[in-house]
Structure formats: structure tokens, C-alpha cells
């Protein structure tokens, strides 16, 4: 079951500024120019994402999260908070991670 208020990485991209807590999830294509202030982006703007199955996209979301946190030194809580809006991320998280279980319960209640 898809958690409420989530989207797929096929329909958006993550934008961030290394060394900060500035992380955002932006719809793709970005007609509004919201990605302008960000140095890095990844997701639907990368064409290969659209060819991957759900499990492969899920792995790629977690790999990119590690890049943001370890390589680019983004705040881990900021990365987690933004990625909670991705169904691929929620599906791979344990229930005891902040906000994950609540989102799953909300989805069940809405079904």
C-alpha cells in the first residue's frame, strides 16, 4: 500500500546544497525554477530512473541518500525528512524510524 502524500522518484527529483540542511523534493519537470538555488540534483531528471523497476529505484534512492549524507555532508535528518515523501524511501525504512510507522498507519486508515 502506498503511504499517503508520497510520490515516486519517477515524478520528482531531490535537490540539495552540500554541507547544509538545504534539501528539497521538487516535481519534474521543474517549470517553476525551484531548483535554481540548489547545486546538486538527482531523480526524475536522470533518464535512467524511468527504466528501473520499483526495487531498483528503491536501492538508488538509498544510495543517493548516502551520497548526500556522507559525500556531500548534508544534514541526515534533513535528508530523511525530505525523502519521507518518496514511496521508494518509505518502503525501505524500518517502522521504528521517525515518522515512517505513522505514515504507514495513515495510509491504512485512509484505505
**Residue at 87 is within a domain:** yes
Q: Is residue 28 part of a domain?
A: yes
Domain that holds residue 64: 9-110
Q: Is residue 3 part of a domain?
A: no
pLDDT in tens, 65-98: 999 999 999 999 999 999 999 999 999 999 899 8
What's the burial of 107, exposed, middle or buried (CB within 10 Å: 0-12/13-18/19+)?
middle
pTM of the model: 0.89
Span 2-33, pLDDT tens digits: 555 789 999 999 999 999 999 999 999 999 99
CA-wise closest residue to 10 among 29, 23, 24: 29
Q: How many domains does the chain have?
A: 1
Amino acid at each position: 500500500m502506498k503511504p499517503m502524500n508520497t510520490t515516486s522518484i519517477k515524478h520528482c527529483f531531490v535537490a540539495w546544497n552540500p554541507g547544509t540542511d538545504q534539501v528539497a523534493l521538487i516535481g519534474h519537470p521543474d517549470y517553476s525554477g525551484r531548483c535554481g538555488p540548489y547545486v546538486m540534483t538527482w531523480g526524475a531528471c536522470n533518464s535512467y530512473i524511468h527504466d528501473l523497476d520499483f526495487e531498483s529505484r528503491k536501492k538508488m534512492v538509498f544510495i543517493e541518500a548516502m551520497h548526500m549524507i556522507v559525500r556531500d555532508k548534508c544534514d541526515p535528518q534533513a535528508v530523511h525528512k525530505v525523502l519521507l515523501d518518496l514511496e521508494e524511501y518509505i518502503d525501505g525504512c524500518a517502522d521504528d524510524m521517525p515518522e515512517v510507522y505513522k505514515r504507514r498507519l495513515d495510509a491504512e486508515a485512509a484505505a
